[in-house]
């Protein structure tokens, strides 16, 4: 068991032994808590309530796992340019955008 410094329901800090406790403001209290208690947990009604992290939605997990959008777009533009150089026709809007992308790359080449 370790000692936790509590303010309202928030667990602020820990010390390992009661003798390590230091004087605190009257709004704070020291209590004994289980060793697996963390500052993410809460102290309610004299008991530690364990923090349960929310489930992360699939779209957030997916968004965080994708490569950066710039890398994705660069790969698509490279493929479209290869297609065009290979004689494949692109729709006009894509052809126009590819020309703009290639112009930017030509104006600002990689060092």
Segment 12-22, tens digit of pLDDT: 999 998 889 99
Domain boundaries, the chain: 2-49, 68-107
Tell me what the mean pLDDT of segment 68-96 comes to.
97
108 HSE (CA, 13 A, CB side): 3
Q: What global pTM score does this model have?
A: 0.53
- Check residue 88 and give its pLDDT: 97
pLDDT digit string, tens, across residues 18-51: 889 999 999 999 999 999 999 999 999 999 999 9
């Amino acid at each position: 068991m370790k000692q936790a410094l509590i303010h309202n329901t928030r667990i602020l800090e820990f010390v390992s032994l009661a003798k390590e406790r230091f004087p605190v403001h009257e709004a704070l209290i020291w209590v004994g808590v289980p060793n697996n208690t963390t500052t993410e947990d809460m102290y309610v009604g004299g008991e530690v309530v364990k923090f349960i992290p929310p489930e992360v939605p699939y779209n957030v997990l997916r968004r965080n796992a994708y490569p950066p959008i710039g890398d994705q777009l660069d790969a698509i533009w490279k493929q479209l340019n290869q297609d065009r150089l290979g004689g494949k026709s692109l729709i006009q809007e894509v052809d126009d955008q590819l020309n703009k992308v290639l112009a930017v790359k030509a104006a600002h080449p990689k060092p």
